Amino acid sequence: MRFHEFLRTTVLMSAGSATALALVTLAGVAGGGHVLLVAVALGWWVLGGWIGIWVSRDSGTSQAIGSLLAAARPQRSLPEVSPALTVVNRLWPLMVLTVAAAGIGIVEPQVPAIAAGFAIGWALAWRRQASAVQAIEDRDGARFYVDRTSPLSPIRLVRTPGFRAIPQNVDGSVPAQSAQPQQ
């Protein structure tokens, strides 16, 4: 699976997890008498969103993503691609957290409320990373893939050759600095 697609999937799954957990929270408090819990949960969700936006205020890659890209193992051929296995292998903690918090939320609605705030912050904090990685791929003429590893080991990347993107002006002409071949 391409790394920038994995990052987009992570953001979408985190946002979906936050939505599901928020719905479980609201269903849990629908019985009545939980006005304070609803107010605190809404405040926590707003704070989680604000923290996520604050963390992602830079448009470039984060230091962790930059280190991961720099440590990518070069490979000439395309790796075996299995997106479903990669998502389950790498995002299982998010899936377990969502199911566990939703299950506990049937009895204790504050648990999914707290987990939803973290998922909101996580989704917003990682929202720009996929675009930054894709820009690096276009600039360098490389493609980054998630390497197959154990679910408990750190993520690793494979770097393969790709096509370099040549920027164009609005009228379709190539800017002067891009027209010259690299040496």
Q: Give residue 58's pLDDT.
A: 85
Q: Helix H segments across 73-146?
A: 83-105, 110-125, 129-140
Q: Give residue 116's pLDDT.
A: 97
- For the chain, the distance separating the N- and C-terminal CA atoms, rounded to the nearest angstrom, is 32
Q: Give residue 91's pLDDT.
A: 96
How is residue 45 written in tokens?
């969700």
pLDDT of the chain, 183 residues: tens digit per residue: 999 999 999 999 999 999 999 999 999 888 777 889 999 999 999 999 999 999 999 888 889 999 999 999 999 988 888 999 999 999 999 999 999 999 999 889 999 999 999 999 999 999 999 999 999 998 888 999 999 999 999 999 999 987 776 666 767 676 666 545 554
Which residue ranges make up each domain of the chain? 3-165
Any idea what the Cα angle at residue 139 is, between residues 168 and 160, rounded to 5°? 130
Q: Give residue 182's pLDDT.
A: 53
Q: Give residue 176's pLDDT.
A: 64
Q: Give residue 121's pLDDT.
A: 96
Q: Give residue 171's pLDDT.
A: 73
* pLDDT tens by residue, 125-160: 999 999 999 999 988 889 999 999 999 999 999 999
Q: Give residue 33's pLDDT.
A: 75
- Quick one: how far is CA 112 from the chain centroid? 20
Q: Give residue 32's pLDDT.
A: 75
Burial class for 123, CB neighbours closer than 10 Å (0-12, 13-18, 19+): buried
Going by DSSP bridges, is the β-strand pair 142-146/73-74 parallel, antiparallel, or unpaired? unpaired
